[in-house]
């Protein structure tokens, strides 16, 4: 059961009033432009100045999307506005709907495994704690839906995606706080001016059943309605899946001067949770690699463990087109997020409880090894209100072509956290289990826990940016951009008793806050000798505030934001046929002023900006068709250089000279399909990672996750409007560490077989 929400309607209304005023102002501004534009053009004509050709305030109507037809993309919306990838002087990887469908990528985590330089932390709350090029995509700020923030409170589902876009390197000039490693943008499916529908059902091992619906109806000359739906059920060997989602969108005025869109997105997950397995120390006789040699399907948590998450989002968008080459896009989204997690942290029981009487290592590990199950609960709610307005246009000034983007965005966020206590006289102690008895069905009554709100966080943010891409010569373009951000946060600890387990916790009934104002820069140089080649050199900065995790404490409230920079040399080359794209990049990313615990303070409770680390490497992407029948998607990253340059040396900080955790040297993904006939298509691919380790290990720790290669296969048969598809994942049923944490790891998906049937009409 989700925690009861406690709202403050009066103060929320006061906070919303500036946003409401801005919405009204922008709307009035757009209408005024629409009414006065013709008169302005007439005045210019009569003045004797040079007259530009007449413009049409319309855009080409959309009846299809290329995302479902190819692994290759040529445009992206992640750079503020729909831009050709060749005009973005920064690395962008696009995971199209065709690749998502081919590999049955149901979640954000599975989708991001298809792109290189990505790793995952087994986060305490099971959120998507993603690392890109070794740097965290902050849980609060670096994941977006249609360019607007999407906090990591829930298990994201792909049912409403047209594609997934990954921008690599510092990007605060585009998105504000965060974006040190980059940004991930989920692009939603939009209504199209065509009648088309598709339904599909997928069956699989682990009693997997997933039903999808995608219904698009043209409702008028320039209007359409689209509805996407999903229901997923699975036993999943003790970690059940139970989710449903619905996403209707109404779009009207498509391609005209005034285009509108209203959308609703609702997703609920009532899933189990696999919190992970403790690292297994190698014994002096047997050795080992810290991983269990057990079936990857094994689950040792409680049957009563769960992760109930969800979100409801309502959005409205207005696009005003000044002409063919200029538009103002204003979007607003109001959203609610919920997370109610009851998890069991699996650890080895003490030596005195083991059959051998010895501590557990690979010499003593076996079916009789005793496991204890701790408790890790996380109950929180969040409400967000976002408004942004972005202008994009092409102009000719001073004899040069300019592609201008400018905008403003506002954010208003409320976060609340709950403690889950145990009533007097009630015991919720979890029984031990053994390695040889996975999924033993043990339960406790989670419903008896008493929820008490113990802290809140309120944040407001304002960002203003502008950038200009100038054609300075026939083959050369220069990009310059600047952004100013203001972030204010107020943290309230309303617990009535001190947290004895955390000596660094804020004193009970305390309110603390801070505000930050920062500038972010972006510079880029493009060389485009032919329509098929584009090379770039770029520089960008980013920052992370102390409030990115939606809380302050006594040690962080006085700490300035972290700062980072990214330098990149890269390019994008298209084949002469236009069917195949290659992307490459050499990058050097540095985080300055990284927050470290101050070893000179009591219990190392305070933080100082004493850390510094960097990573440098090479990335390669290949996407498209080698021949009309042979299609390929490949992504590879090599990061030979990654180093902690400065550190405070306090517990939990990585030592100077070490390689940062979650920064493997090699990551790769390959997927290739071959059409054997008009009806038959086969495919296969691999996902691979070299040795890696968790973040924050002590200098003496030798914990390491060995590298792995996982092989997947596919076969598809198409007959008219029907298609039948088989997918086999992890062909060798290999046990490998997928998500890493200091005390545990989460194994990758076991061998899984799925069969899908779909029908288009």
Determine the Cα–Cα distance for residues 100 and 93; give it in Å rounded to an integer.
14
How high is the pLDDT of residue 139? Answer: 53
If one compares 479 and 33, the residue with the highest pLDDT of the two is 479
State what percent of residues in the chain have pLDDT above 90.
Answer: 75
Would you say 363 and 285 are in contact if contact means Cβ atoms under 8 Å apart? yes
Residue 25 tokens read as: 């102002």
Whether 596 and 569 have beta carbons less than 8 Å apart is answered as: no
Picking from 105-119, 541-555, 606-620, 624-638, which range would have the lowest pLDDT averaged per residue? 541-555
pLDDT at 480 over 50: yes
User: Does the pLDDT of residue 261 top 60, yes or no?
Assistant: yes
Report the residue count for the chain. Answer: 761
What's the mean per-residue pLDDT of the chain?
A: 88
The Cα–Cα gap between 409 and 462 comes to: 6
Residue 343 CA to residue 421 CA, distance in Å, equals 14
**Residue 596: per-residue pLDDT:** 63
46 exposure class (CB count in 10 Å sphere: 0-12, 13-18, 19+): exposed
At 650, which helix (H) or strand (E)?
A: none
What's the predicted TM-score (pTM) here? 0.90
Contact between 544 and 528 under an 8 Å Cβ cutoff? The reply is: no
For residue 719, the cross-strand partners are: 722
Residue 142 has pLDDT above 80, yes or no: yes
CA distance 654 to 650: 8
277-278, strands of its sheet edge to edge = 135-137, 129-132, 118-121, 737-740, 744-747, 277-278
Question: pLDDT per residue over 63-72, tens digit each?
Answer: 666 788 899 9
Q: In the chain, what are the domain boundaries?
A: 75-758
H or E stretch covering 713:
strand 708-719
**Smallest Cα–Cα separation from 552: which of 500, 596, 511?**
511
Q: Which residues contact 101 (CB under 8 A, 6 or more apart)?
A: 68
- For residue 259, what are its two tokens? 């285009």
Q: Per residue in 341-360, pLDDT tens? A: 999 999 999 999 999 999 99
DSSP state of 194: S
Structure tokens at 153: 């409170």
- Residue 384 confidence class, pLDDT cut points 50, 70, 90: very high
pLDDT at position 560 over 70: yes
Q: How confident is residue 48, by pLDDT bands cut at 50, 70 and 90? A: very low
Considering just the CA atoms, what is the radius of gyration of the chain in Å?
26
By mean pLDDT, which of 128-132, 193-197, 599-603 is the weakest? Answer: 599-603
Dig out the tokens for 610 from the structure: 């004493």
Beta strands in 60-207 (DSSP E): 75-76, 83-84, 92-96, 118-121, 129-132, 135-137, 143-145, 148-149, 161-168, 182-188, 196-204
Give mean pLDDT, residues 94-122.
Answer: 96
Distance CA 95, CA 104 (A): 13
| CATH class name, domain 75-758 | mainly beta
- Report helix, strand or coil for 662: coil
Helix %, strand %, coil % of the chain (to 5): 10, 50, 40
| pLDDT surpassing 80 at residue 370 | yes
């Amino acid at each position: 059961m989700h925690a009861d929400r406690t709202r403050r309607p009066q103060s929320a209304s006061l906070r919303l009033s500036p946003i409401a005023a801005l919405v009204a102002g922008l709307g009035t501004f757009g209408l005024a432009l629409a009414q006065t534009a013709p008169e302005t053009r007439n005045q210019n004509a009569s003045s004797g100045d040079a007259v530009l050709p007449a413009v049409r305030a319309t855009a080409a109507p959309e009846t299809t999307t290329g995302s479902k037809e190819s692994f290759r993309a040529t445009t992206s919306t992640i750079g503020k506005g729909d831009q050709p990838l060749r005009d973005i002087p920064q690395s962008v990887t696009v995971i199209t709907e065709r690749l998502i469908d081919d590999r049955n990528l149901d979640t954000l985590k599975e989708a991001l495994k298809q792109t290189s330089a990505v790793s995952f932390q087994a986060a305490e709350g099971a959120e998507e704690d993603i690392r890109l090029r070794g740097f965290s995509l902050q849980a609060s700020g670096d994941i977006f839906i249609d360019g607007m923030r999407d906090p990591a409170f829930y298990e994201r589902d792909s049912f409403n995606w047209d594609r997934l876009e990954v921008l690599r390197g510092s990007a605060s000039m585009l998105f504000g706080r965060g974006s040190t490693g980059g940004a991930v943008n989920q692009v939603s499916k939009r209504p199209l001016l065509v009648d088309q529908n598709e339904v599909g059902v997928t069956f699989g091992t682990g009693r997997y059943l997933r039903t999808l619906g995608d219904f698009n109806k043209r409702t008028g000359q320039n209007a359409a309605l689209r509805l996407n739906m999903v229901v997923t059920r699975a036993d999943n060997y003790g970690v059940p899946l139970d989710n449903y989602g619905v996403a209707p969108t109404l779009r009207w005025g498509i391609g005209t001067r005034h285009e509108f869109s209203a959308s609703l997105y609702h997703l609920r997950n009532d899933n189990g949770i696999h919190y992970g397995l403790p690292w297994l120390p190698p014994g002096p006789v047997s050795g080992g690699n810290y991983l269990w040699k057990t079936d990857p399907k094994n689950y040792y948590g409680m049957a009563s463990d769960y992760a109930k998450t969800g979100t409801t989002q309502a959005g409205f968008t207005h696009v005003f087109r000044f002409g063919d080459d200029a538009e103002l896009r204003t979007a607003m989204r109001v959203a609610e997020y919920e997370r109610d997690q009851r998890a069991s942290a699996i650890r080895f029981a003490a030596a005195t409880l083991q059959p051998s009487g010895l501590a557990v290592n690979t010499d003593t590990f076996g079916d009789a090894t005793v496991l204890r199950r701790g408790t890790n609960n996380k109950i929180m709610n969040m409400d967000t209100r976002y408004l942004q307005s972005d202008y994009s246009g092409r102009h000719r000034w001073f004899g040069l072509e300019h592609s201008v983007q400018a905008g403003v965005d506002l954010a208003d966020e409320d976060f609340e956290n709950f403690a889950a206590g145990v009533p007097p006289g009630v015991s919720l102690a979890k029984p031990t289990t053994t390695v040889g008895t996975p999924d033993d069905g043990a339960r406790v009554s989670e419903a008896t826990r008493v929820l008490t709100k113990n802290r809140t966080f309120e944040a407001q943010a304002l960002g203003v940016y502008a950038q200009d891409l100038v054609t300075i010569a026939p083959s050369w373009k220069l990009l310059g951009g600047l952004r100013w951000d203001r972030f204010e946060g107020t943290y309230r600890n309303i617990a009535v008793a001190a947290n004895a387990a955390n000596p660094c916790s804020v004193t009970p009934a305390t309110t603390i806050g801070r505000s930050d104002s920062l500038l972010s820069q972006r510079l880029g140089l493009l060389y485009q000798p032919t329509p098929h080649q584009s090379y770039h050199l770029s520089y960008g900065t980013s920052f992370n505030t102390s409030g990115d995790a939606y809380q302050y404490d006594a040690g962080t409230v006085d700490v300035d934001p972290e700062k980072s920079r990214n330098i990149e040399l890269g390019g994008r080359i298209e084949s002469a046929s236009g069917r195949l794209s290659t992307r490459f990049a050499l990058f050097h990313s540095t985080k300055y002023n990284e927050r470290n615990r101050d070893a000179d303070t009591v219990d190392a409770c305070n933080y100082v900006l004493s850390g510094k680390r960097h990573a440098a490497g090479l990335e390669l992407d290949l996407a498209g068709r080698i021949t009309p029948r042979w299609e390929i998607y490949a992504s590879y990253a090599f990061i030979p250089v990654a180093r902690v340059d400065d550190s405070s040396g306090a517990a939990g900080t990585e030592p100077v000279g070490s390689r940062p955790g979650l920064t493997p040297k090699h990551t790769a993904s390959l997927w290739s399909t071959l059409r054997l006939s008009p009806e038959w298509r086969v495919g296969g691919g691999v996902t691979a990672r070299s040795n890696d380790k968790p973040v924050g290990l002590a200098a003496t720790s030798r914990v390491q996750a060995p590298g792995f290669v996982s092989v997947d296969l596919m076969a598809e048969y198409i007959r008219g409007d029907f298609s039948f598809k088989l997918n086999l994942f992890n062909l060798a049923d290999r046990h490998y560490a997928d998500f890493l944490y200091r005390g545990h790891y989460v194994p990758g998906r076991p061998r899984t077989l799925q069969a899908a049937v779909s029908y288009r009409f």
